[in-house]
Amino acid sequence: MGRILPQAVDGLIRLERLLKIRGMRILAVDTTSSQGSIALLEGDDVRGLASFTAHRDHAQRLLPELDALLASLGMSLSEIEGYAVTVGPGSFTGIRIGIATVEGLSFATGRPMVGVSALEATAYRYRCHHGLIAPLLDARRGEIFGALFRSDGGSLELILEPVCQRPEAFLARMPLQPVLFAGSGLAICQSLVWETLGERAQFAEPFTALAEEVARIGKRRLEEGQATPLGGLGALYLRPSDARKVRR
């Protein structure tokens, strides 16, 4: 084996340091609700963030918004090193569009991808909170998508698996400890949460754009080698679609 010259070693060290400073470029997409969002994360810095409303069809808005975000940053898809996408729960159509788009981009560019739960992304926004976090998403029909996480001030541990339930049933499962509630589901049940838990209930400020949190979770998983193979992104629906109910 040939001897590596000192100059080459210095060059490799400088390149490694440059990559660590810059970090991975992750493009994240969330289309689980009518409020869609896209984020581009480089290392720990958000280079770009766009949100858009698609009342009927994310398919008409997602790719144009993605192209506009990259153009505003002077970047192309060839510079993206990984993709992340919310796989649910949420809008059936939105979930399918998000997954199909990211799988297509991953296939076309040869870059890895990973799926992220919208509930985990909602809780992750408040990861600096020490204690229990219950993300709630509006599931329509008087129901919520919910889960329960424990945060140590930086990372999350899943305590209760994601469910689709009436708010009363979900709240009955809450432990006798303070819980921070967050997410769009609060719009339909915040008063009920307060009536049920009293002073044990804490409320986070409302927000709808999840793409930044999806990007941060996705970046960590991709760096840990947890990429999902093409065709392997499974949707997290939590309940059957209307079409499936009709067939039954």
Same domain, 32 and 154: no
Give the domain extent around 96: 23-118+209-247
Residue 53 in domain: yes
The total number of structural domains in the chain stands at 2
β 25-30/156-165 pair status: unpaired
Same domain, 57 and 85: yes
Q: What angle do CA 81, 215, 33 make, to 5 degrees?
A: 125
- Other C-beta atoms closer than 10 Å to the C-beta of 196 total 16
Distance of CA 91 to the CA centre of its chain: 14
Same domain, 104 and 170: no
Give the tens place of pLDDT for each residue, 174-220.
999 999 999 999 999 999 999 999 999 999 998 889 999 999 999 99
- Position with higher pLDDT, 10 vs 220: 220
Same domain, 93 and 36: yes
Residue 83 in domain: yes
SS3 per residue for the chain: CCCCCHHHHHHHHHHHHHHHHHCCEEEEEECCCCEEEEEEEECCEEEEEEEEECCCCHHHCHHHHHHHHHHHHCCCHHHCCEEEEECCCCCHHHHHHHHHHHHHHHHHHCCCEEEECHHHHHHHCCCCCEEEEEEEEECCCCCEEEEEEEEECCCEEEEEEEEEECHHHHHCCCCCCCEEEECCCHHHHHHHHHHHHHHHEEECCCCCCCHHHHHHHHHHHHHCCCCCCCCCCCCCCCCCCHHHHHHC
Give the tens place of pLDDT for each residue, 42-96.
999 999 999 999 866 788 899 999 999 999 999 999 999 999 999 999 999 999 9
What does the alpha-carbon distance between residue 53 and residue 65 come to, in Å, rounded to a whole number?
A: 11
- Other C-beta atoms closer than 10 Å to the C-beta of 202 total 18
Same domain, 104 and 183: no
pLDDT band at 173 (very low <50, low <70, confident <90, very high): very high
Whether the CB-CB separation of 65 and 28 falls below 8 Å is answered with no
- Other C-beta atoms closer than 10 Å to the C-beta of 67 total 12
Residue 6 in domain: no
CATH of the domain at 68: 3.30.420.40
Same domain, 31 and 97: yes
Same domain, 30 and 114: yes
pTM of the model: 0.87
Give me the mean pLDDT over the 163-182 stretch: 98
Same domain, 191 and 219: no
